[in-house]
Every structure is written in C-alpha cells, then in structure tokens.
C-alpha cells in the first residue's frame, strides 16, 4: 500500500506546500514540523527550479530566494534524511522534469526511496510522456502523482485509471496563487475521477482561506495550499514557522 494513503485515512486531508531553502533549510524544517504539529496530513516539498512555469509570482519568488541562497538538490536530500528522523507523515517532492533529468532519473528516484520520499509531482510532465519516469518510480516504490486540470476533459478518466498515490486536481487555469473565487466545475471532474479509480483526490491552486478549503474538501478528499504558506515565509522569514502552524490549524479545523 502506498504510504500516501495514510494522509487520507483520518477524514479530509490538509496538504501543505513549502519551498525548500526559503529563506534557509533550517526554517524549512521548522515550518514543516509546525505544519505537522498543527494537523497537516501530507507535505509537498518544493525543489526550486530557475524556470518554474506552473508557479505564480509568490512561489517564483521563493524559488529565486532559495536558489540565490545556494540551495541544491543534494542539500535537500540531506535535509529530508534529517527530517525523517522525527517526521513520519507522507512527504512528496514537487519539482520540474528538468531537475530530475539533470540529476539523473534513476539516481534521483532511488534516492527518494532511500530517504523516505513517498511520491513526486512534476507539473510540466505531460501525461503522455510519463513513462519516461513512471517505470523508474515503480521500480523504487515512489508514486508519480498525476495532475488533472480543467482542460483535461476527455483525458480525465484515462489519467484517473493510471493514478498513483493521490490525484492532484488543479482548481483553475493559469499559475499557482491565491484567488478570490474558484469557478471551475470541479464536481463533474471529481465525479469522473470517482468512476475510474479509488485513489484519493485533492484540490489545489488558488486556495487560501478556511472557507475555500472547506468547500474544496467537501468536493474531494482534501485541500492543497501553497502560495498562502509561502507568503508567510516571505513576510516573516525565520519567524514564519509559528505563523504557519497557526494558519495550518485554522485550515485543518475548517475541513475536519
């Protein structure tokens, strides 16, 4: 059984995204631990990339700050190895295909298995090209997590049938970032997913308030929040973890 399923065993899952190394890895570790302590069920750890095409300005800024601070994939691997000494909830990496390519797919994914990463999300990897990574992921028992966007339409069933870990449903067209309202017909997307897989699905992109999280979790198995958390890191720097803990608690209480 995929370890990721554990995130969805206690009701609706709250999934938090944090960019590694913004402003430094010590703060990232403190932020992860505060998120876990306050109810996060799964953490997405962002590996910074110089051209993060799916990201809005908030997470782009976090990527640049981390890269300017000297973050590397190897440093992040060592960080996760240390994090796993006391953090047991599912962890997944979110990054870009080029990061995995340039590191070497087999080396990258086998290291994920070794350090306790349960899955990877590559938002720029087309579904039709996922075999380049999925065979290696299967070999090392790392879930390659698929995304379903509002534009997926007649491909939703196909993506759902082959899903691993959980399905990341993108709430809106465009890049990551808070939105005042989410107008996509997510109900029909989730219905097609339910008809084709029993893998859990969670909704992300644009969620920032407890009310939005409650609505998205009522439609699916959980809510994913990134930009709102990264904004707290941008605003408070090394002091951000306590604010992230409070924020995560308010979001988890809303969807419970």
Cα 119 to chain centroid distance, Å, stands at: 9
- CB neighbour list of residue 255: distance below 8 Å, 6 or more residues apart: 11, 12, 14, 213, 214, 217, 222, 223
Q: CB of 164 within 8 A of CB of 136? A: no
Domains within the chain, CATH numbers bracketed: 12-146+204-255 (3.20.20.70)
pLDDT in tens, 24-76: 999 999 999 999 999 999 999 999 988 866 677 889 899 999 999 999 999 99
pLDDT in tens, 197-231: 999 999 998 899 999 999 999 999 999 999 999 99
Q: How far apart are CA 149 and CA 155, in angstroms?
A: 10
| pTM for this model (two decimals) | 0.94
Q: How far apart are CA 123 and CA 152, in angstroms?
A: 13
pLDDT in tens, 167-195: 999 987 654 444 445 446 899 999 999 99
Q: CB of 227 within 8 A of CB of 176? A: yes
Q: CB of 111 within 8 A of CB of 77? A: yes
């Amino acid at each position: 059984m995929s370890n990721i399923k554990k995130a969805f065993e206690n009701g609706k899952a709250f999934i938090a995204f944090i960019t590694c190394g913004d402003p430094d890895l010590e703060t990232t570790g403190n932020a992860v631990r505060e998120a876990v302590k306050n109810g996060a069920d799964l953490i997405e750890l962002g590996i910074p990339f110089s051209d993060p095409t799916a990201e809005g300005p908030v997470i782009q800024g976090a990527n640049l700050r981390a890269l300017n601070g000297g973050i590397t994939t190897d440093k992040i691997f060592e960080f996760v190895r240390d994090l796993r000494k006391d953090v047991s909830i599912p962890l997944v990496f979110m990054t870009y295909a080029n990061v995995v390519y340039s590191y070497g797919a087999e080396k990258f994914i086998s290291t994920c298995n070794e350090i306790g990463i349960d899955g990877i999300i590559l938002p720029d990897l087309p579904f039709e090209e996922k075999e380049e990574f999925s065979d290696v992921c299967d070999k090392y028992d790392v879930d390659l997590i698929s995304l379903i966007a509002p534009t997926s339409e007649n491909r939703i069933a196909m993506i759902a049938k082959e899903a691993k870990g959980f399905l990341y449903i993108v709430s809106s067209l465009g890049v990551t970032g808070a939105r005042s309202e989410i107008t996509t017909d997510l109900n029909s997307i989730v219905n097609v997913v339910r008809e084709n897989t029993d893998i859990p699905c969670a909704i992300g992109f644009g969620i920032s308030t407890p009310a939005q999280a409650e609505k998205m979790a009522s439609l699916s198995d959980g809510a994913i929040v990134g930009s709102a958390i990264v904004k707290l890191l941008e605003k408070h720097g090394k002091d951000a973890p306590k604010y992230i803990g409070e924020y995560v608690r308010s979001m988890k209480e809303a969807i419970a």
